[in-house]
A and B are shown apart, each in its own frame.
Chain A
């Protein structure tokens, strides 16, 4: 046998292809008529089909309650794809995709559903002439996660002798640390950790992935990336919108669980983690877990000094009056759910000891913005006399995640004129300007990674628990408090109380 054929234990054709092959797969979306599936998952699957990125053999099974045959489900899917896809669908591709799309109708708690699923999957295997890998995507309300996982196990749909079986679990992953531990135990009693993909869709965003490229492929940042040069880190995820029609979900969740416990702690990990030796799933996740473990979990007594919440009241956004949270449709009049959360955390390790990480998020703030701002320490001595130094500010490196993805570095520069006067100027890199191409939706990347079994952008069980260990005391303290969250005007910077958690000399950046 030639050297080439001896090497064919691995696929000899895959090398140098931009898109490596994915195993023939049946994607089963449980909750296929829900908001997430309609707005995000179905359009993402279409876009993968459009680009030829789906596996060679592929079928989509949509599981949902309600009497809906294959044809009605396909019509709904086509409608959603046409409305929410980032590109206008190619009707021929869409038609071919829909031909491989099937509906399974039942309640998630009905054992007959899983028998039907098994039969349908078997039929698809037979049609394909080979067993299809199985990817169960739980796009349901969290209350169904446990029952679905148990039922998949009970009906032996959690394993297959010949092909991989994976399960994708949407956020929120538990409502407390105990919940998350319990859900992890439940998941891992049926599936192996390597089969589980816990989605945090922020990790699928190109700009979040780019954060690692910027940190670990550029020599310029590493020397200053320590407590010696960095004064503080501020991570902001602000929205100008209210809760829309999501009162049912949001009022039981709040800002801390909705964004801080998952997305914002992930962003913090990306800033604080050590360079992994390789870009493998566990190499990256091990480094992130080390960061989370280095964060001292607050006691309930600590919470008032390191965390602030708020709730928006009626105000003006973009020149238009908007209602307060308690006036939003579906929100109980006595709701104490926070629509704003800010926390101060410290990563107690050699690199970061003493550097505060400020995380804040909120609804109905001044504008939509997600960014990470690294504030450097001021220079030790300024040689400019008198007014010359008035405009000097410490350097600031800002990674904007949305809406204008990019990086800016503030520098001090001389104002043109006879005297030596200085003011800050910005050096900007704009992601869009440098690539001129449309980034894929986060869900496209994550669905494909789940099909391929690449876990790098999914959250590991211990990682989720480590996140909850930090947030759980805050959740408990706020739940136990009889006080209402401090109010803030819609369209503002958030509650005035947010300044109370800042260390002396620090201020919040304007949103």
Chain B
């Protein structure tokens, strides 16, 4: 008998113990109906959002690609609500290969009121699978809930690009880093760019150009100044530049960083033609006249190099765009990893954003 796509249970007013029991019953039903079913055990993902947003957030999670939490607990906050409502569901994670077992993903949507937020940990704790990493996705700012849930959490997933003020966003990430691992989607959007910059300077003759860097220009989507600041922060932290606050307006910020060989002109520009969040382009120049740039393009990043003698070359660095759902999936996966570079980059980015 084919496994059912989803089995679900709901109650308008319930308790965590009843929800957990309902999930166990759903698993037994799944075994009865479909034979070999195994609940995945990867990580718990908790998300707290306004009830009006819960559908959109659930939709984003279903599009997250290959990487998923095995148990998702979505807390939908409804103003004035006094009881806990719940929908628990068990769904097949992937199409089951012929003759193979079905891998199950569990999701729980909790309908709660603001009164539940200060002690949300007491509701959520019985529902997380023990001994698995627990990730808190801060899709919306419910600080009270975040404070309550932090002790349950090993990693916080956030998107600094969601916050209007870059300094506030970076400062929040930096403070969270003191207690938990932070996975910032704004940082992950810069991953292919960082990898390609690293690849560009992996060649010894290019690496020799590094001390002579004189200018770095980063173009970004209007909402993604934080991604640009983090990229500059990463460059500065890796090359041990002394960073100072950039100045300017919403369209462009600029300033100097100081390396061993002198000043490096940093420019951060909003690119109105960039259709999606993230970076649009990066250009690095040296005092010798060498210039290397990367720009978003079809099929990968478009790379261009100008040698000091004026000779120019361009090529495509292959790679598919992950899209926003893919970046969220990557964020969930990174919650299982450790990225030591982010903290240092965020620290420098805060300096750059200081007077912005």
Contacts and interface: CB of A to CB of B under 8 A. Distances in A.
Interface of A: 1-5, 8, 11-24, 49-52, 54-58, 90, 92-97, 99-100, 128-130, 403-404, 430, 432-438
Interface stretch (B25-33, B75-83, B193-201, B269-277): B193-201
B66 A438 contact: yes
B202 interface: yes
A5 B261 CA distance: 10
Interface stretch (B6-14, B39-47, B218-226, B243-251): B39-47
Contact of A433 (B39, B66, B260): B39
A24 B203 CA distance: 9
B290 to A, nearest CB: 12
Contact of B201 (A13, A128, A130): A13
B163 interface: no
Given A5-B210, A434-B41, A95 B103 contact: no
B39 A14 contact: no
Contacts of B205: 130
B210 A96 contact: no
Q: Is the interface of A mostly helix, strand, loop or mixed?
A: loop
A23 B303 CA distance: 16
A96 B318 contact: yes
Contacts of B197: 13
Contact of A5 (B40, B101, B239, B341): B239
B303 A56 contact: yes
Interface string B184-220: 0000000010111111111101010011000000000
Given A8-B207, A13-B197, A437-B67, A52 B317 contact: yes
Interface stretch (B16-24, B140-148, B332-340): B332-340
Given A51-B319, A436-B68, A13 B333 contact: no
B320 interface: yes
B198 A17 contact: yes
B318 A58 contact: yes
Contacts of A17: 194-195, 198, 341
B317 to A, nearest CB: 5
B175 interface: no
A54 B100 contact: no
26 contacts: A8-B210, A8-B211, A12-B238, A13-B201, A17-B194, A20-B198, A23-B203, A24-B203, A50-B320, A52-B195, A56-B303, A90-B299, A90-B321, A92-B298, A93-B300, A129-B305, A129-B307, A130-B203, A403-B100, A404-B100, A433-B41, A433-B42, A435-B42, A436-B40, A436-B66, A436-B93
Given A2-B240, A12-B210, A56-B303, A433 B259 contact: no
Given A96-B299, A438-B66, A430 B319 contact: no
A90 B320 contact: yes
Contact of B196 (A11, A15, A56, A97): A56
A93 B320 contact: yes
A434 B42 contact: yes
A87 to B, nearest CB: 9
Contacts of B68: 436
B267 interface: no
A14 B238 CA distance: 9
Interface stretch (B48-56, B115-123, B149-157, B308-316): B308-316
Given A22-B199, A52-B192, A433-B42, 8 more contacts: A16-B339, A55-B199, A90-B299, A92-B299, A93-B299, A93-B320, A129-B307, A430-B101
B302 to A, nearest CB: 10
A273 B351 CA distance: 51
B93 A23 contact: no
Given A19-B195, A57-B315, A403-B100, A4 B300 contact: no
Q: Which of B38, B68, B303 has the most CB of A within 10 A?
A: B38
Instruction: List the 5 closest pairs (A to B, CB-CB), nearest first.
Output: A52-B319, A4-B240, A96-B299, A13-B198, A92-B299
A58 B319 CA distance: 12
B161 interface: no
Contacts of A8: 207, 210-211
Contacts of B39: 433
Contacts of A55: 199
B114 to A, nearest CB: 33
B70 interface: yes
Nearest to B342: A16
Contacts of A13: 194, 197-198, 201, 238
B103 A432 contact: yes
Contacts of B240: 2-5
Nearest to B312: A129
Contacts of B194: 13, 17
Interface string B313-331: 1011111110000000000
Contact of A14 (B66, B202, B259, B333): B202
Contacts of A99: 316
A404 B318 CA distance: 33
A164 B103 CA distance: 44
